[in-house]
Each structure stands twice: as C-alpha cells, then as structure tokens.
Amino acid sequence: MEEMMDRHAFIMPEHRDDTVWCPNNIEEKNLTYISEFHLMGLSDDLQLQPILFGLFLFMYLVTMLGNLLIILTVSSDSHLHSPMYFFLSNLSLADISFTSTTLPKMIVDIQTHSRAISYSGCLTQMSFFMLFGCLDSLLLTVMAYDRFVAICHPLHYQLIMDPCRCGLLVFVSVLISLLVSQLHNSIVLQLTYFKSVDISHFFCDPSQILSLACSDTFTNNIVMYFVGAISGFLPISGIFFSYYRIFSSVLKMPSSSGKYKAFSTCGSHLSVVCLFYGTGLGVYLSSAVSSSPRKGAVASVLYTVVTPMLNPFIYSLRNRDIKRAMWLLLRKTV
C-alpha cells in the first residue's frame, strides 16, 4: 500500500451495483493505480469506423495542407510581409498544432480499434490542447487590434505596429497560453482519485477529466472559471471593443467606397472569429442542455477540426493579395 501511495493517480473500485463512489478515509479503501484512461470516441458502431477514419484523415490532411500553404505563401511573397499577414501565418501555425494535438490520436485509435491513452499521455494532450486553444483565441484578439489600428489610426499604423511590437504581441500571447496551460495542468496533477477511467470523448477533454475526479469540485470550478476568463472572456471582450471602435469609425466615413474597403479588410477575420467562438459557444451550450457526453464530443468536432480546416479557405477566398501570392507560388513551384 505504501508503494501505491507514492503514485499520483488512483481509481476507486466500483460496487457490485456499478455505482461509483469516492473515499472518505483513504487508508481504509483498496486503491488501484491508474495507468491509462479509455477514450470512448464518437461512436461504438463498427461499421461506421471506416467512414470516420476516411473522413477525419481527409479533414486532417486538408487542414495541414491549407495552413501550410498560407504559411509558405506569406513567407515567400515580400508584399505580404505586413503585420496582418504575420499574425495570419502565426494563426495558421497555431491551427496546425491545435488540430495535431487531438486528431492524429483519434485516427490511430479508429484504425487500431484501441481506446487506451496513458495517464501521462492524457496529461500531455490536455496541456497542448489548452496551450494552442488559448493561443488561437489570443491571436484572434491581436488580429482584431491590428485591424483597429489600421482603420482608426491609419497615419500612425506603421509606427504603432512596428516589427518589434508585432513580435512582442505574439510572444506575450504564447507566454500567457503557456501559463494558462501549466496552471490547469498543475491542478490536474493534484487529482489523486478518479471515479472512472472512461472519458466520453475522442480526446482528453479538461472539463471531463475534472468531472471524473474525486476531489473538491469548488476548487476545480474556480480554476476552470479563471482559465475560461483568460482564454475566452477577455479575448472576446477585446475583439468586441476593437470592432465597436472600427464600426464607429467606418460609419463616420463620408464615401461609400471607403466604407466598403474598410469592411472588406475585416471580413475574413470577422468570419473566422464568428466561426471559432460560435462553434465553441455552441458546444458549451449543447453540453449544458444535453445530458449525453457523447453528443458533446460530436459537437466539439466543429471547433477542434472543422474551424482550423476552414480558416485557410476563408482567408484565401476573400483576400485578393493571398490569392495572387498563392498563384505566383504555384507558378514558381510548377
């Protein structure tokens, strides 16, 4: 028993009536060391597995190729070496990393018919999921600030958004995301006992891991609210304030052509913001209304897989500079 107490993750045995419970006195209970969790995935239907495998493999390849094309296009064309496209290439890199955190594991599990993920692997996946998810949110906020400066302070744009400041904004975004990720991970590492090893998701969802823990839920909820405020509420507030100032300035413009040009520069970013936060909010509301965790896992595909896949298309289809640079890149390659 003393050797087992040195370990940091245990699961409590279940009663014969399959109800789960948590201990009041640790020394009186028979504890079992957790070496792995079980990811239940999206469906148990064996006939559906080949379809899911092909679908998600295709979506992952499209996501990788699309975002890599954005990065190569921005880096290869000197006309795109501006703050807006610098932030766009960083967003594409964050999208690649965000999708790669969950989707490859899911594809391998479908192909091998395996549901197991090690305890350390689950913690690592959660850490990177929080890191790149928060980074996505903060980069969208930085891009909104860039559009605010470009439209509301055009004469001082080059002075305000100089290369040093742009690099500093990205660095601070990465630093905050890393701190949020490590804060959440430090809380999860304190969890010692779990009600079950079955996670009704296709990845180690942080909220579900906390819900399985046999610990003080008040502390866990405080941490989740704090993490949600930093990664969600504050970025949304910054984006809302930036676009409020943008719309106020655009409506004061005398010419309709100036208004159209100003709105067109924000169209792609605003579409991505609505897609990212709209799907995330939809998943949150659906999980709150529905009592089925499996339905929440299906809904979370929207912001973990679909949104990073569509971002390159949104920016390339709505931006003439990107389309021109892509065409030149393809011509050089051919």
pLDDT for the residue numbered 306:
87
Reply yes or no on domain 2-333 having CATH 1.20.1070.10. Answer: yes
8 A C-beta contact, residue 140 and residue 272:
yes
6 confidence band (pLDDT: 50, 70, 90): very low
pLDDT in tens, 97-110: 999 999 999 998 88
127, two tokens: 């850490």
293 confidence band (pLDDT: 50, 70, 90): low
Q: pLDDT exceeding 70 applies to what percent of the chain?
A: 82
SS (H, E, C) 262-282: HHHHHHHHHHHHHHHHHHHHH
pLDDT for the residue numbered 292:
62
Count of CB atoms situated within 10 Å of the CB of 129: 21
61 confidence band (pLDDT: 50, 70, 90): very high
90 confidence band (pLDDT: 50, 70, 90): very high
pLDDT for the residue numbered 17:
38
Count of CB atoms situated within 10 Å of the CB of 322: 22
Q: What average pLDDT is seen over the chain?
A: 80
Q: Classify residue 212 by its DSSP letter.
A: T
Tell me the average pLDDT across 44-63. 89
288 confidence band (pLDDT: 50, 70, 90): low
8 A C-beta contact, residue 57 and residue 107:
yes
Paired sense of beta strands 36-39 and 116-118, if any? antiparallel
pLDDT for the residue numbered 217:
62
286 confidence band (pLDDT: 50, 70, 90): low
- The listed range with the strongest mean pLDDT (146-150, 193-197, 274-278, 295-299) is 146-150
> Which uninterrupted H or E stretch holds 331?
helix 320-333
Sign of the alpha-carbon dihedral angle for 308, 313, 315, 321: positive
Least confident window among 28-42, 87-101, 230-244: 28-42
Count of CB atoms situated within 10 Å of the CB of 235: 25
What's the pTM value of the predicted model, to 2 decimals?
0.84
110, two tokens: 């479908």
pLDDT for the residue numbered 172:
95
Domain ranges of the chain: 2-333
Tell me the average pLDDT across 60-73. 92
Res 294 pLDDT > 90: no
pLDDT for the residue numbered 220:
66
Res 33 pLDDT > 70: no
8 A C-beta contact, residue 259 and residue 265:
no
Instruction: Give 12 or 160, the one with higher predicted confidence.
Output: 160
pLDDT in tens, 219-249: 667 777 777 777 778 888 899 999 998 888 8
Res 26 pLDDT > 60: no
pLDDT for the residue numbered 93:
94
pLDDT for the residue numbered 34:
67
Res 49 pLDDT > 70: yes
- Please provide residue 252's backbone torsions phi and psi, each rounded to the nearest 5 degrees: -85, -10
pLDDT for the residue numbered 165:
93
pLDDT for the residue numbered 28:
39
pLDDT for the residue numbered 199:
82
Res 214 pLDDT > 70: yes
pLDDT in tens, 256-283: 777 777 777 787 888 888 888 887 777 6
